[in-house]
Amino acid sequence: MSYQVQTIAQHILSGFHTHYALFQQITARAPQAFALQKWGEIEQISKQRISLYDARVNDTVTELKKHTPQHTPDEALWHQVKQHYAELLSFHPQAELAETFFNSVFCRLFHRRYYKNDFIFVETTLTKPTTLPIEAEFRSYFPVISGLKPTIRNMISHMDLQCGFRDLEQDIRLLVKAFIKQAPSTHHSHHGLRFDILTAPFYRNKGAYIVGRVVSKSGVQPFIIALLHHPQGGLYIDALLTKSAQMRIIFGFARAYFLVETHAPSAMVGFLQQLMPNKTTAELYNAIGFHKQGKTEFYRDFLFHLQHSEDVFTIAPGTPGMVMMVFTLPNFPFVFKVIKDVFAESKPFGRDTVLARYQLVKSHDRVGRMADTIEYSEVVIPKKKFSPSLLETLKATISNSLRDEGDYLVIKHLYIERRMTPLNLFLQTADEQTAKKVIEDYGHAIREMLSVNIFPGDMLLKNFGVTKHHRVIFYDYDEVQYLTDMNFRPMPSPSLEDLYSGVAEPSAAPNDVFPQQLCTFVLTDPKLRAVFEHSHEALLKVEYWQQAQRDIQTHVVKQIYPYPASQRFYRHIK
């Protein structure tokens, strides 16, 4: 093996080690920020981690160019580099992340024609079990030794939350009572139970979470314990979650990534997947902050689906967008979005603005109401996966983002999101009770976005989706802006001149918004409008929006609970 092969492989691995060490250093600031209730710092930690990866890849590429300045790779050399790099990962605790880092570096160095398994890890080489078993990420507790409540107390103390509880004994009593009620099949004697707890707390926004499982003769019962700060000081346990659907929402695609320390991400993901088997590997890597690895895992799933299904792309259901061309695979639960060459006249901005707004949402707290997006460049898809009519439509609408390479179509820039049922279509077939519930949740979605300084812009129902749990999620970001940049105005009374001239609309500057008009343009169905006005009358008043702006400007951080109020132990605490 040549010295050059070893040098290149080791240099890339060193670049990865630098990235991972910095990632963990940033994450390690979360416990103290949570303990001191520095919510602004929690937000900054989240943003720093998202931008960290590309900076470290660029550093590595810059250094490598000094040793490999040519634009065309020496194929024999890079084949050996990949082989040697794979050997270096044989007993590496973050091997899968290191493979992805290698791919990123190579793809920045060379042309897309070399993006194949000979030179990068299109397919992982990690076919064997992880170097570190799942047990490396959790600690087991045995109530048979000291009893149930002392074991729970010991379990919580090992979390090292860096601040005390207001009344831990009371919380433990409520926790045990809730567990018996929610999971009666696991109610065994102390000698028949074992707790497996992930060693690090999961931090996000104003909450911390303990994630684990109870193992008994009845099987495995996953759970999440939610911890919050009491307004009068001290921590308290706010909720116990044992239902799979609730746990999946907490780890959902519309939420900010968790801040959690881990030495072996694959082991943590393996543990979480045992608790939530319906979650994909990609989704769980995203949830714990490794969104680049999530992107890799998703792409492998996508390639597998293309190769092993008869699926052909179709236009995604819903009202055609004025900025994005959206298509989907019927049996693959995602939509593919490409920026159109020409926007509708009502969209007075360009491509760069759309790119910036999607990036804004990516790095922002999505508060459970904005879908995460996966962004790709130079995506190669077989032409046979597109019908002739769809191909013509794509060429007519997004030709600037396409490159025809014979049997393949290359999409230069692409966003991928979880597919949902557009809210306007959902309401067409929903029964009255379900429609009422979803419209109420639509209002809650708007309120929660406002609380984190997001103004969705176009609030038409077609821009929101409904999940299978009937949760309303916003997914169209081309008009997203910061709430504090908007000017919320009451509807002016028309002047006599306006009345005589027939002017129906008040004059408005670009960032002017009239909340009173919300129902007029969004909810034309009288029944749905009545439901919204009854549940969210405040959203129709300019004072509500202006107060939301003042809250942001004075750093008031509201608590948004990612679980039902019925699960809370202390519902009176706001």
**Residues catalogued as catalytic:** 372
Write the CB contacts of 263 (distance below 8 Å, at least 6 apart in sequence). Answer: 93, 132, 136, 137
Q: Output phi, psi for 289, to 5 deg.
A: 100, -5
Rounded to whole angstroms, how far apart are CA atoms 446 and 458?
Answer: 11
Rounded to whole angstroms, how far apart are CA atoms 150 and 571?
Answer: 26
CB 236 within 8 A of CB 570: yes
| Closest by Cα among 364, 138, 432 to 270 | 138
Rounded to whole angstroms, how far apart are CA atoms 20 and 264?
Answer: 11
Task: Using DSSP, state whether 534 is helix, strand or coil.
Answer: helix
Question: Is residue 318 a known part of a binding site?
Answer: yes
Rounded to whole angstroms, how far apart are CA atoms 18 and 59?
Answer: 10
In the DSSP assignment, the letter for residue 117 is T
CB 472 within 8 A of CB 483: no
Rounded to whole angstroms, how far apart are CA atoms 247 and 225?
Answer: 10
Residue type for 400, please?
Answer: N
Q: Output phi, psi for 264, to 5 deg.
A: -135, 85
Question: Is residue 319 a known part of a binding site?
Answer: yes
* Residue recorded with tokens 């999409």: 411
Extract the tokens encoding 345: 């006249």
Q: Where are the alpha helices (DSSP H) in 65-187?
A: 75-88, 95-109, 143-146, 148-157, 168-182
Q: Output phi, psi for 424, to 5 deg.
A: -65, -35
Question: Is residue 320 a known part of a binding site?
Answer: yes
Question: Is residue 316 a known part of a binding site?
Answer: yes
Question: Is residue 321 a known part of a binding site?
Answer: yes
Rounded CA Rg of the chain: 26
Residue type for 217, please?
Answer: K
Rounded to whole angstroms, how far apart are CA atoms 422 and 326?
Answer: 12
- DSSP strand pairing (487-488 vs 512-513): parallel
| Closest by Cα among 566, 567, 448 to 209 | 567
| Closest by Cα among 88, 76, 95, 70 to 11 | 88
* 382: β partners: 408
CB 240 within 8 A of CB 271: no
Annotated binding site: 316-322, 337
Annotated binding site for ATP: 316-322, 337
